[in-house]
Amino acid sequence: EQIEKGGYEHFMLKEIHEQPKAIRDTYRGRLLSDEAIIKMAGVEDNMKTFLNANRIIIIACGTSWHAGLVAEYIFEEFARIPVEVEYASEFRYRNPVINENDVVIAISQSGETADTLAAIKLAKSRGAFVFGVCNVVGSSIARETHAGAYTHAGPEIGVASTKAFTTQITVLTLIALRLARAKGTMSSSDFRLYLRELELIPQKVEQLLNVDDHVKDIARQYLLSPNCLYLGRGYNFPVALEGALKLKEISYIHAEGYPAAEMKHGPIALIDDRMPVIVIATSKGHYEKVVSNIQEIKSRKGKIIAVVTQGDTAVKEIADHVIEIPESEEAFSPLLTTIPLQLLSYHIAVMRNCNVDQPRNLAKSVTVE
Ligand code: AGP
């Protein structure tokens, strides 16, 4: 096992550090920036179905569901296709309105999640075309779907999903970009720009992993907090949910993720000087609005850990801690903002002596309904 961990203390830490390679492996051979094309056989072979779809319904559980939420923003922005994101467990028990004009994208790292598998079978029985995004090759979901695209994350052993999340977002982004070009909803110059930007993400993640010591210092100060709030907006709202899930599953600290603007509709009542609030405030993501949310937290004495874009000045003046991420297109920022949140959960869990790779009550794949 020590050999498999490659010198890291835990699989989770190893998998966090593998993300630059995993993201690169996921777009390799698919993203051809010199020719300005995206090649994905599963999409190409079914292009008509995708283009004629009334809407895309994304089904998944847990972290994969969060990747689906990021994809909702990306598909709607790039390809102008309406997207709904559903928990597989709710979708399958609800007699959903779905037919042959719908495209379903099922996302699953393991490809074995029972609720996702059952939701796929239901969608197929109603005539929908189902496309799978899985990591495990030959898994049940990969076999049950009509077509699909693998993430090439490599084996993910830690129960807390890390590289599966960022590679799922990468695959979904490639699909959205391909459909945007096919539909003509994105100009060829924007398309080229996005391809080049996406190719820069692995090196930005690499650079970002250097924040580890800084994040560890922050972790030390909050490891005894009983609660934690995560806020984000737009593309980074799902990242707030994912950050909260990561913290609760491995450190057993109660955490909630919220869209930043929803804070005033309830969670603000929780804020006092014992409440750490992690806020994602990227420079292109409704920045002024998020800054005003941060001011509201400050005036209630909440402790602010802000994830900001390099060069930020306004948030630095108010926040208790800032973690800088390299600049990128806002649509790709979840691939960056999620990294320090993974590290924060990891370090807090280690400092609390929790079993990081195998947290209590959890299994790597949930094959029960
Ligand atoms: C993530 O950290 C979790 N352990 C869990 O939510 C997981 O993402 C979920 O069970 C879905 O698994 P899947 O991607 O293998 O379908």
173 pocket-lining for ligand 1 (C-beta < 6 Å):
no
Provide CB contacts within 8 A for 73, sequence distance 6+: 234, 235, 238, 331
pLDDT at 369: 83
**pLDDT at residue 47, as a whole number:** 97
Q: Give yes or no for residue 33 CB within 6 A of ligand 1.
A: no
Task: Look at ligand 1, atom 7, and give the residue with the nearest C-alpha.
Answer: 62
> Does 110 contact ligand 1 (Cβ within 6 A)?
yes
- From CA 351, how far away is CA 355, in angstroms rounded? 10
Alpha-carbon span 165 to 231, nearest angstrom? 18
CB distance 117 to 145 below 8 Å: no
What pLDDT is recorded for position 6? 87
The separation between the first and the last C-alpha atoms of the chain, rounded to the nearest angstrom, is 31
Atom 16 of ligand 1: nearest residue by CA position: 108
Mutate-to-test residue for ligand 1 from 11, 113, 341, 342, highest number of ligand atoms within 8 A of CB: 113
How much distance in Å is there from the Cα of 315 to the middle of ligand 1? 33
CA-to-CA separations, 289 to 37, 279, 296, in angstroms, rounded: 36, 12, 11
Residue nearest to atom 5 of ligand 1 (CA): 62
Residue 62 C-alpha to ligand 1 middle, in angstroms?
Answer: 5
Matching residue, tokens 């005003």: 292
pLDDT of residue 365: 85
Q: Average pLDDT of each block of 10 consecutive residues along the chain (369 residues)?
A: 88 98 98 94 97 97 98 98 97 93 97 97 97 97 98 96 98 98 96 97 98 98 96 97 98 96 92 95 89 94 96 94 96 98 98 95 88
Strand partners, 303: 276
What amino acid is encoded at 352 in this protein?
Answer: R
Q: Which pLDDT score, from 0 to 100, does residue 218 have?
A: 98
Report how far ligand 1's centroid is from the alpha carbon of 324 (Å). 28
Do residues 150 and 137 lie in contact, with contact meaning Cβ atoms separated by under 8 Å? yes
pLDDT tens, residue by residue, 89-130: 999 999 999 999 999 999 999 999 999 999 999 999 999 999
Ligand 1 atom at shortest distance from the alpha carbon of 110:
15
Q: Which residues are catalytic?
A: 364
Give the Cβ contact number of residue 112 at 10 Å: 18
What whole-number distance in Å separates Cα of residue 43 and Cα of residue 17? 30
Q: Model pTM?
A: 0.97
CA distance 302 to 150: 42
How far is residue 59's CA from residue 133's CA, in Å, rounded to a whole number?
10
86: enclosing H helix or E strand:
strand 83-87
